[in-house]
Amino acid sequence: MSMGEAGGRTFKAKLQAAWDRGDSLLCIGLDPDPARMPLDDVAAFNIAIIEATSDLVCAYKPNVAFYEALGPERGYAALRRTLAAVPPHIITLADAKRGDVGHTARAYAAAIFDNLGFDAATVNPYLGGDSMEPWTERAEKGAFVVCRTSNPGAGDLQDLPVRQPDGTTRPLYEVVAARAASWDRRGNVGLVAGATYPDEMRRLRALCPGMPFLVPGIGAQEGDLAAAVRAGIDADGRGLLISASRGVIYASAGRDFATAARAEALRLRDAINRERDAFAARAGRPAKA
């Protein structure tokens, strides 16, 4: 059994349990930058963050690029130690944005899921359905399809109009979402939907009502947290992994970094939950206990 797997449960079941156990939709990005860290040991830095915040999150999301930049030995050793420190009920999500032809995608998936032991990964769908199958074929592993990203240039390609069979057009990101829904045969596919574009996220939620969204763009990218929750929350008051990275892990540049990270994570978790309570009230349901 790989790290992060819990008794052979499906990814969907593990994610739902993680949402509920911590009463949290917060995902912390573990993106170590040695120039900003008060420790020289990347893994020790990450482990301190995890120990300070694990009761406040549903997921941790290491961006693989930051570990690869450290070199193959140092970087992957730190990543393995980091993943080993994550409690088994919390989702581990590789922000890798891999995408390639089928046989190469299968090797990428083996590296992320089997070798490193992640529960899920971000995946680039540009090469089509056959490139996605290695990421979606196992119900216990999740794939978050890059759909409407949070960066300023997202619309350069993602907003391009695509003509449909009936002669109408829709933006490319909506076409990607529809394709992702067709690939979701095992309930383990999600979308990457940036907090910086809440109107687009609202359309994605209408297209994919039951699909989990990984939501980057809160914090350093200045996405509106309340607007993102309102746009993306699902009918059950869940459906989101709201990712915060630099704003949490670098909340302090001093030796109190873990304490500061906890304070910021708690603030974000509670702010998200206030919006969830407001959503429940609008829907005529009781707020969470």
Active site amino acids: 97
Confirm if 5 and 119 have CB atoms less than 8 A apart. yes
Which residues on neighbouring strands pair with residue 151, listed in sequence order?
none
Measured distance CA(51)–CA(28) in Å, rounded: 12
SS3 label, residue 95: strand
Alpha helices in the chain (DSSP H): 11-21, 42-53, 64-68, 72-85, 102-109, 129-136, 155-158, 172-183, 198-207, 225-232, 246-249, 257-282
Strand bridging mode 169-171 / 161-163: antiparallel
